[in-house]
Amino acid sequence: MKDLLSIEHLARTDIRKILSEAAAMKRARGRHRTKPLAGQSWALIFSKSSTRTRVSFEVGIHELGGRPMFLSAADIQLGRGEPIKDTARVLGRMVHGAVFRTFAQADVEEFARYASIPTINALTDEEHPCQILADIFTIEEKLGSISGKVVTFIGDGACNVANSWIFAAAKLGFELRIAAPRPFQPPASLLQRAAGKVICTEDLRAAARGADVLYTDVWVSMGKEAESARRAKALAKYQINTALVKLARPGALVMHCLPAYRGKEIDEVTFEANAQTIFDQAENRLHAQKAILQWAVG
């Protein structure tokens, strides 16, 4: 039994195991010979909105033989103040695993500690490990090994998705460039903790030059809505558009974890020109998460 709470604490060998299983899951979709979740019920506890993560986990758990149970945090007693550790101990006695999307990373960690069932972080303010595993799977499907490649993250370089990229860079040996205004760059302490090849710069064009992947996420993450105006102003020029793509390596991938806001972090033309990659990336959430589920119960 294992938890997936962060990329920071996921061993390189486990990342590699999950990535190769993701490819096997994709090939075997619709004709899985083993059902590692047979007879199991899994709780999906979500305190924030979700399309991709929710649907891919519900479908993935079902396809592996289990029964997903979606629990909006607002509808269970958690939303009325029942402590996480009590919710965790109740669910731990009833279900076989949990997928948890919430605000504080500490809450997912506390849940895992008290529930004593496999627990998967489906996004916190600090990390989005399932996203990054699916993204790396997508990159390797299209470009081969990520090791030695250059991934340029553009926009809010201090968000959960950027953080997970930072921890992945050291573990898989690629160069990560973060193009963001200084207040939206990751803190030095986090870069030290991760100890990978990560370059932070305000120079968007320099960061894009020769990159293998241009990647972006929303400017306003869930929970940061009160900062929308300030973020729109500060991040205005940090957009993936036609001019920026021309600076990247020919054939570079343009990726977006979605949901996308056209005219903000990416323009309409560039988004649609790269829709094949972006929706392959979204589909790969399903395959990668099935690999994560199998790994977690193994």
Which residues participate in catalysis according to the annotation? 101, 128, 131, 217, 257, 285
State which of residues 23, 222, 234, 247 lies at the interface with ligand NVA (CB under 6 A): 222
**69 versus 222: smaller Cβ distance to ligand NVA:** 222
Q: Confirm or reject binding of residue 277 to ligand CP (CB under 6 A).
A: no
Q: Where does this chain touch ligand NVA (CB under 6 A) — which range of 74-82, 190-198, 215-223, 290-298? A: 215-223
> 240-245, long-range: CB within 8 Å, 24+ apart, which pairs?
240/154, 240/214, 240/216, 240/265, 240/266, 240/267, 240/270, 241/266, 241/267, 241/269, 241/270, 242/267, 242/269, 242/270, 244/154, 244/204, 244/205, 244/208, 244/214, 244/270, 245/208, 245/214, 245/270
Rounded CA separation 212/215 (Å): 10
**50 versus 241: smaller Cβ distance to ligand CP:** 50
**153 versus 295: smaller Cβ distance to ligand NVA:** 153
261 burial via Cβ count (<10 Å: 0-12, 13-18, 19+): middle
CB 237 within 8 A of CB 211: no
Q: Identify residues 131-160 at the interface with ligand CP (CB under 6 A).
A: 131
Q: Confirm or reject binding of residue 261 to ligand NVA (CB under 6 A).
A: no
Distances (CA, A) of 206 to 102, 106, 108, 200, 272: 35, 36, 37, 11, 24
Convert residues 253-272 into a mask of x (bound to ligand CP by CB under 6 A) and - (unbound). Answer: ----xx--------------
**285 versus 287: smaller Cβ distance to ligand NVA:** 285
Q: Confirm or reject binding of residue 115 to ligand NVA (CB under 6 A).
A: no
Q: How far is the CB of 287 from ligand CP (least distance, A)?
A: 15
Q: Identify residues 143-202 at the interface with ligand NVA (CB under 6 A).
A: 159-161
State which of residues 40, 47, 53, 105 lies at the interface with ligand CP (CB under 6 A): 53
Rounded CA separation 57/60 (Å): 5
**136 versus 257: smaller Cβ distance to ligand NVA:** 257
Count of CB atoms situated within 10 Å of the CB of 29 = 12
CB 118 within 8 A of CB 1: yes
Q: How far is the CB of 51 from ligand NVA (least distance, A)?
A: 9
Q: Where does this chain touch ligand CP (CB under 6 A) — which range of 45-53, 67-75, 81-89, 111-119? A: 45-53
DSSP type of residue 71: E
DSSP type of residue 186: P
Rounded CA separation 206/214 (Å): 12
Q: Which does 160 bind (CB under 5 to 8 A by kind): ligand CP, ligand NVA, none?
A: ligand NVA
Count of positions on this chain that bind ligand NVA (CB under 6 A): 9
Tokens of 203: 């120079």
Convert residues 117-136 into a mask of x (bound to ligand NVA by CB under 6 A) and - (unbound). Answer: ------x-------------
- Angle, CA of 184, 151 and 237, to the nearest 5°: 40
Q: Confirm or reject binding of residue 289 to ligand NVA (CB under 6 A).
A: no
Binding site for ligand NVA (CB under 6 A): 123, 159-161, 217-218, 221-222, 257
Binding site for ligand CP (CB under 6 A): 50-53, 123, 131, 257-258
